[in-house]
Each structure stands twice: as C-alpha cells, then as structure tokens.
Amino acid sequence: MKQGIHPKYYSDCKVTCTCGNTFVTGSTLKEIKVEICSNCHPFFTGKQTFADTKGRIEKFLEKVEKGKKYKK
C-alpha cells in the first residue's frame, strides 16, 4: 500500500441502529448511525413493516399536480 493516501482505519467502529441495537465492526469512520440493521430488518425478523406509507408513484403525481398550479 502507498503511504499517506489511505484514510485511518478503525477496527473498533461502533454502529448504532435506531432500534437500539449496537455492534462493533471495522470502518474508516469512528461511529456510524444506521436506520435499519439485521436486528430490525423485515428479512431477518420475518415481520412485515412499512417504512414508507406512500409509494413513489403517488409522490410523483402530487408533485405533478403542484407543478400544474404554478404553470401559466
């Protein structure tokens, strides 16, 4: 490896999830905050949760309607 071009590596990086789960891994960051981890992800837990109540299409259609209001 070339000297002086790589970021500092932390082998004790603390990862904190919004569900309260924490674990240690290696990273170039000292601390990482995540929204979903293996402790609360539906694939691993088997529980269905909705992260987003509105779909992308509905959001897009709302933007189109707002845009029509401002058009001359």
The domain spanning residue 62 has which CATH number? Answer: 4.10.80.400
pLDDT in tens, the chain (72 residues): 788 899 999 999 999 999 999 999 999 999 999 988 888 887 777 777 666 666 788 888 888 988 888 766
Domains in the chain: how many in total? 1
- For residues 26 and 41, give the distance between their C-alpha atoms in angstroms, rounded to a whole number: 21
User: Does residue 28 form part of some domain?
Assistant: yes
Task: Provide the pLDDT for residue 42.
Answer: 75
Task: Provide CB contacts within 8 A for 21, sequence distance 6+.
Answer: 37, 39, 40
- Domain range for 31 is 10-70
Instruction: Kindly state the tokens that stand for 69.
Output: 């209001």
Task: Provide the pLDDT for residue 54.
Answer: 65
Residue 5: DSSP 8-state: S
